[in-house]
Structure 1
Amino acid sequence: MATILQVAEAFSAHRFSEVYPFLHPEVTWTLVGAARLEGREQVVQACETALGQLAQTTSQVLRFKTVANADAVVIDTVTRYVDKKWQSSFVSACDIFEFTQGHLTAITSYTQEVDSSILG
């Protein structure tokens, strides 16, 4: 059985199929400033849509930092995405994962496109 850290890392790395077995039926995913998804079906559908969009790009993870305790994991990432027209964008994201008895019950995601010059 995967640990909560492994589940959270798989989600933030867009390996969603590894996460599906751990989703609580009433999981919520808050995409701050954009949407709130409720229930396993909505979360899986959003993940599959994201995978379709990601298939049109290549990505390079520039930062992947994790903080965890017994029932929560926070992952801070910066990823460079390049589309088929060779246009690149940099996205900073912070995902907060909450678990209950090994099931992922809540996700809160903060994402922001950033200028590459601030990445140092």
Structure 2
Amino acid sequence: MATIQQVAEAFSTHRYSEVYPFLHPEVSWTLVGAARLEGRDQVIQACEGALQQLSRSTTQFLRFKAIVSADAVAVDAIARYVDQKWQSSFVSSCDIFEFVQGTLTNITSYTQEIDSSTIR
């Protein structure tokens, strides 16, 4: 059985299929400023769509820190994405995961594309 930290880290590193067994049927995913997804099916559909987009690029995590409590995990990350034309983009993100008895019930994601000169 995976720990809540392992589930959260898998999600934040785009290893979504590892997370699917832990999704509560009524999970919600808030993409702050963009959308709110309700239910396991919507979350999986969004993850699969993201994987299709990510398949056209490589990902390198420049920062990856997890903070864990008894029923929640926060992951702060900065990732560099390089597309097939060798163009880079940098994204800072913070994902907050809430669990009930090891089942993922809520995800809140904050993401912002950033300038590479701001990375420390």
Report if TM-score (shorter chain) is over 0.5: yes
Q: Residue in 1 aligned with 2:73?
A: 73
Q: Residue in 2 aligned with 1:113?
A: 113
The alpha carbon displacement at 1:85 in A equals: 1.0
Q: Residue in 2 aligned with 1:14?
A: 14
Query: Post-superposition, which runs of at least 4 consecutive aligned residues in structure 1 deviate over 3 A?
Result: none
Structure 2 unpaired stretches of 5+: none
The one-letter code matched in structure 1 to 2:108 is: T
User: Residues 24-48 of structure 1: CA distance to partner in whole angstroms, max 9, x if unpaired?
Assistant: 0000000000000000000000000
Q: Secondary structure at the match of 2:86?
A: coil
CA distance in 2: counterparts of 1:4 and 1:65, whole angstroms: 14
CA distance in 2: counterparts of 1:24 and 1:59, whole angstroms: 28
Q: Secondary structure at the match of 2:65?
A: strand
User: Residues 21-80 of structure 1: CA distance to partner in whole angstroms, max 9, x if unpaired?
Assistant: 000000000000000000000000000000000000011100000101000000000000
Is residue 38 of structure 2 the alignment partner of residue 38 of structure 1?
A: yes
The alpha carbon displacement at 1:18 in A equals: 0.3
CA distance in 1: counterparts of 2:4 and 2:20, whole angstroms: 13
Q: Secondary structure at the match of 2:14?
A: coil
Q: Residue in 2 aligned with 1:99?
A: 99
Structure 1 unpaired stretches of 5+: none
CA RMSD of aligned residues (A): 0.4
Q: Residue in 2 aligned with 1:26?
A: 26
The alpha carbon displacement at 1:108 in A equals: 0.1
* Aligned-residue identity in percent: 74
Q: Residue in 2 aligned with 1:54?
A: 54
CA distance in 1: counterparts of 2:46 and 2:10, whole angstroms: 15
TM-score scaled by structure 1? Answer: 0.99
The one-letter code matched in structure 2 to 1:95 is: D
CA distance in 1: counterparts of 2:8 and 2:59, whole angstroms: 19
The one-letter code matched in structure 2 to 1:105 is: T
How many residues are treated as equivalent by the alignment? 120
The one-letter code matched in structure 2 to 1:73 is: V
